[in-house]
Structure 1
Amino acid sequence: MYKKLLGQTIIYGVGAIAPRIILFILNPLLIYKIPNEGFATFTQLYAWISFVNIILSFGFETAYFRFSAEEGNEKKTFNTSFWFLFSTSTVFLALCYLFNQQLADYAGYHDNPEYIKWFAMIAFFDNLLVIPFAWLRFHNKPIKYSVVRIVQAIFQAVFTAALFFWIPQSISRSFGLDQNVDYPFFSNLAGSALGFLLLLPIIVKVRFQFITSLFRRMIKYSFPLMLAGLAFMVNENFDKSIQKGLISDEEAGAYGGCYKLAVLMTLFVTAYRMGIEPFFFKQMDKGDSKKTYAKVAEYFAFFACAVALGIIANISWLKSVFIPNKSYWIAIDIIPIIVLANLCFGIYYNFSTWYKVTDRTSVGTIISWLGAGINIALNLLALKYFRSMIGSAWATFGAYVIMMIVSYLLGQKYYPIPYRMKKMSFFLILLGVFSFIIVKYLNYNILMSNVLFLIFIGILFYSEKDMILSRIKKS
């Protein structure tokens, strides 16, 4: 069971990580070609897209997994889910086209109303692909899932590079691309449209079927998840969506550029989530499910802590490779904070299992908005009163830590899972201490930081030697 889960997680990881690595490799080009002020615009637009996608998808990805797990329900769930998301996407697209200039004026893009149209089209295509991608995951087709994701990313990256270097400006301008910051945005639209074409064989499986009684159950289940997803996007993007105007554009752009380096930790958490979510639901009716959940959480904490410190220990050379414009380095100290914040979110994701498998998704909404409220309050405090971009990073960290703790405590009350909290706490505390030493006293020195990293790995393996040996023997 664990081998299959690990294998699928690795493949899903490739599907989740490879596209982001491809676009991550593209990031130095964007930073080099787009000035800080332009990058602040780019970052803000993508922050808004993430909020819209959560609202349009309405939590139906997780709802699809939940109700497809019921015997004989998968096709009904697939059809009902797709047509609902098709409806929300189409209405949104129509509204953005009907009120294009008004929305552009309101958003501060009076001279670039095309941004709203591109924004709407990206959201439209991305939302149509939510259920087809979920279908691949549910039917254990991680290779097909990963291939589509990777092809999309390669196409988007090549198209972006082509706009910068090979396609004549006269042709670019005929498409309405007047500024450098337009290129990655337009390439994203083209990549999203390509994803629709690649998943067309799955989309044509959809039948004209909409089960009202099933939809009512799904909407009741997914609505709290949508609200929780919005809260998650607040935690991820509220800082970047409001910094422009509260701190200098130079600092806001640097924050967005350095934040993307911390995405390496996000990639690890995303890969894990892709493989684990269907697995959690398929395990929920088994007698030993709680022990399984506890073991999986411990394994995650073990490997995630190692990945987190590995990133932090190597910031000195990672920044030179992936953030070539030194003017962005004024925000370099946000990276360790965001890395640790994303680690805490990954652990929270494990702790959130209890309310998903017991259909108490409304509790997840409350927890998520508790974190979002903390994030909003701390961000406003940091940005309005202290003009501190570092404060924005700490706001994200604080939100995820509180969510992690609250979800654990409530879960132990309503659906107790035997997590080995002493061991997991040991991992986290040691990680925090070593990270502080690297930042505060070693100043990211690559040699000494990696010596500390190797010591950390040695301690982790020694503390978990029994678990590692048992896994080796079983293999």
Structure 2
Amino acid sequence: MNPIYTNYFKDPSEYAIYSEFYIYIPILLTVLTFGLETGYFRFSSKYKDVKDKVYSTTFTFLLVTSTLFVLYTTFGYDGIISGLDLSPNKWYVILTGWIVFFDVLCAIPFVRLRNENRSATFVVLKTVNILINVLFNLLLLFVVPKLFPSLPPMGILVIFIANLVASVTTLFLVLRLAGLPSIRISKPLMKELAIYSVPLVISGLAGQVNDLLDRYSIKYLLPESAKPMFQLGIYTSNLKLAIVLTLFTQMFRYAAEPFFFNNVRKEDSAKTYADVFKYFSVFGMIIFLLVTLYIDIFQYLEGANYREGLFIVPVLLLSYYFVGLLYNLQIIFKLHDKTRRTVDVTLAGLILLVVFNIFMVPHFGYQAAAWGRLLSFVFMCVVSYWFGKKIVSIPYDFKNIGFYFVFGLGLFFLSKAIRPENLYLRMAVNTLLFGSYVLVFLYKEKINPVTIAKSLLKWKSK
């Protein structure tokens, strides 16, 4: 929707209001799911004979806590608006509360689908959610105003309404397909879940704040003369051009989490984790090159008024690259019940980011916010590796990982140095650079793409 939003809402300051509210949603989801998604994986593999009890306990707990939350946002919106210095439109707060409520209730049923390896059902439901969201955005933005011209313009309220419709529909569908849990809580099991999951809540919250602090910093650290909401709109729009790497990381996490937990006791698990880490880093760099080398095409995913911030997209992509590496490094803490370490690492990264932003953002604006984000995630990766090697020895292939990383960055800078004026020639050169990265990777790893294609065709026929 980013191309539509940034062309429909011409003023980045208006777009920034929507962006600001959607800063809070992932934070609220992290807090209100209480780390029980990971807890579900851990305890359903630990207590395989009582999986239904784990399902009902986690779902019921979230039902109770999220109900209390949505009642507060529905009737206590005045305090929220004044406390957070938000737009005075109460419906933004109320609808955000209900979106979070339904998304929290979807969390455990979706985890159950992943844990049961029902990936096709999972993907279909996620796709349906997206399609409904997009459909209602388009209807409310373009169709309804023409059918009912006397209605007052809804502005960015459209985004919230469409999201809510999608969230409600998804909850009903996922409960139907994953199974309706019993509404009951096993106190002994809940106690174990809480002990395991509470550190994940703390680290998850710190991680979300770390991930979103760049946007807070732009709003609260920039002087009014620097137009903070305008800069926030520019920044968040260009951040979405880097979302391809986030989607890859999220896709990877969905598939990898049950895989890691199911393979933790195998003898060759350490070698497997090392291979996964290497190949993740390579595909992350491929996506980095895909976006940066073809930025002349990707720029059309946002309106012309927002493209002044394109120069920060490579920095944002690299930050998401290290977010993915961080997940791979920190999975060790979850597998070996050392979730406290995620808290230590994330808080250290958060402190570094706060200090950096306080000193740099007031002077350099959203550019400094992007660099601070990258610095923080690189730092957390280093610290996570240092803690992780004390828990278990993983034979990471840093020699080749480093080569692929440096080689990818080298191709990026080479494209900047060459950069022909003619667009078609520039795209041809960048395509050669992109292809060279893929070919070098296939050659070094002795991967035959023909063999892979045959295997895929064979799998598809089955």
Structure 1-normalised TM-score? 0.88
Structure 1 residues 440, 113: closer, same or farther in 2, change over 3 A?
farther
What is the SS of the residue equivalent to 1:132?
A: helix
1:436 match? 413
Question: Does 1:446 pair with 2:427?
Answer: yes
**Which residue, 211, 232, 245 being the options, matches 2:207?**
232
**Which residue, 270, 275, 289 being the options, matches 2:255?**
275
1:337 match? 315
1:12 match? none
1:464 match? 445
Structure 1 residues 56, 452: closer, same or farther in 2, change over 3 A?
same
Question: Does 1:44 pair with 2:20?
Answer: yes
What is the rounded CA distance, in whole Å, between the counterparts of 2:446 and 2:147 in structure 1?
Answer: 62
What is the SS of the residue equivalent to 2:144?
A: coil
Of all paired residues, the percent bearing the same amino acid is 27
Give the residue type in structure 1 aligned to 2:170: G
Question: Does 1:307 pair with 2:287?
Answer: yes
C-alpha displacement of 1:450: 2.6
Contact 2:110 2:122 in 1 (8 A): yes
What is the rounded CA distance, in whole Å, between the counterparts of 2:138 and 2:234 in structure 1?
Answer: 22
**Which residue, 181, 191, 197 being the options, matches 1:222?**
197
What is the rounded CA distance, in whole Å, between the counterparts of 1:397 and 1:109 in structure 2?
Answer: 28
Structure 1 residues 469, 301: closer, same or farther in 2, change over 3 A?
farther
What is the rounded CA distance, in whole Å, between the counterparts of 1:378 and 1:357 in structure 2?
Answer: 32
What is the SS of the residue equivalent to 2:49?
A: coil
1:58 match? 34
What is the SS of the residue equivalent to 1:262?
A: helix
What is the rounded CA distance, in whole Å, between the counterparts of 1:181 and 1:328 in structure 2?
Answer: 17
Contact 1:382 1:389 in 2 (8 A): no
What is the rounded CA distance, in whole Å, between the counterparts of 1:57 and 1:309 in structure 2?
Answer: 35
1:69 match? 45
What is the SS of the residue equivalent to 1:58?
A: coil
**Which residue, 154, 172, 191 being the options, matches 2:166?**
191
C-alpha displacement of 1:410: 1.7
Contact 1:33 1:180 in 2 (8 A): no
Contact 1:163 1:172 in 2 (8 A): no
Contact 1:251 1:330 in 2 (8 A): no
C-alpha displacement of 1:378: 2.0
**Which residue, 170, 184, 188 being the options, matches 1:209?**
184
What is the SS of the residue equivalent to 1:195?
A: helix
Contact 1:129 1:196 in 2 (8 A): yes
1:263 match? 243
1:147 match? 124
What is the rounded CA distance, in whole Å, between the counterparts of 2:253 and 2:230 in structure 1?
Answer: 34
Gaps of 5+ in 1: 1-25
Structure 1 residues 49, 169: closer, same or farther in 2, change over 3 A?
farther
Which structure 2 residues correspond to residues 244-259 of structure 1 after superposition, within 5 A? 244=219, 246=222, 247-248=226-227, 249-259=229-239
1:382 match? 360
Give the residue type in structure 2 aligned to 1:336: P
Question: Does 1:358 pair with 2:336?
Answer: yes
Task: Point out the more displaced range, 133-142 or 234-243.
Answer: 234-243
Give the residue type in structure 2 aligned to 1:294: A
**Which residue, 155, 161, 167 being the options, matches 2:138?**
161
**Which residue, 39, 48, 59 being the options, matches 1:82?**
59
Question: Does 1:130 pair with 2:110?
Answer: no
C-alpha displacement of 1:95: 1.2
C-alpha displacement of 1:381: 2.3
Matched pairs, number: 445
Summarize deviations over 1:420-441 as a string: whole Å, max 9, x none.
1111111122222323333466
What is the SS of the residue equivalent to 2:241?
A: coil
User: What is the CA RMSD across the aligned residues, in angstroms?
Assistant: 2.4
Structure 1 residues 298, 394: closer, same or farther in 2, change over 3 A?
same
Task: Point out the more displaced range, 375-384 or 358-367.
Answer: 375-384
Question: Does 1:412 pair with 2:412?
Answer: no
What is the SS of the residue equivalent to 2:161?
A: helix
Contact 1:251 1:331 in 2 (8 A): no
What is the SS of the residue equivalent to 1:286?
A: coil
C-alpha displacement of 1:64: 0.4
C-alpha displacement of 1:203: 6.7
**Which residue, 267, 273, 294 being the options, matches 1:287?**
267
C-alpha displacement of 1:387: 3.5
C-alpha displacement of 1:468: 7.5
What is the rounded CA distance, in whole Å, between the counterparts of 2:406 and 2:443 in structure 1?
Answer: 16
1:369 match? 347
C-alpha displacement of 1:46: 0.2
What is the SS of the residue equivalent to 1:303?
A: helix
C-alpha displacement of 1:377: 2.2
Give the residue type in structure 2 aligned to 1:61: E
What is the rounded CA distance, in whole Å, between the counterparts of 2:79 and 2:18 in structure 1?
Answer: 20
What is the rounded CA distance, in whole Å, between the counterparts of 2:83 and 2:346 in structure 1?
Answer: 28
C-alpha displacement of 1:466: 6.1
Contact 2:285 2:321 in 1 (8 A): yes
Task: Point out the more displaced range, 179-188 or 107-116.
Answer: 107-116
Contact 2:112 2:178 in 1 (8 A): no
Structure 1 residues 390, 187: closer, same or farther in 2, change over 3 A?
same
Gaps of 5+ in 2: 457-462
What is the rounded CA distance, in whole Å, between the counterparts of 2:214 and 2:150 in structure 1?
Answer: 32
Contact 1:234 1:375 in 2 (8 A): no
Contact 2:219 2:232 in 1 (8 A): yes
Give the residue type in structure 2 aligned to 1:459: V
What is the rounded CA distance, in whole Å, between the counterparts of 2:26 and 2:244 in structure 1?
Answer: 18
What is the rounded CA distance, in whole Å, between the counterparts of 1:95 and 1:184 in structure 2?
Answer: 22
Contact 2:114 2:258 in 1 (8 A): yes
What is the SS of the residue equivalent to 1:209?
A: coil
Structure 1 residues 93, 85: closer, same or farther in 2, change over 3 A?
same
C-alpha displacement of 1:65: 0.4
Give the residue type in structure 2 aligned to 1:46: Y
Task: Point out the more displaced range, 278-287 or 349-358.
Answer: 349-358
What is the rounded CA distance, in whole Å, between the counterparts of 2:267 and 2:455 in structure 1?
Answer: 21
C-alpha displacement of 1:172: 9.6
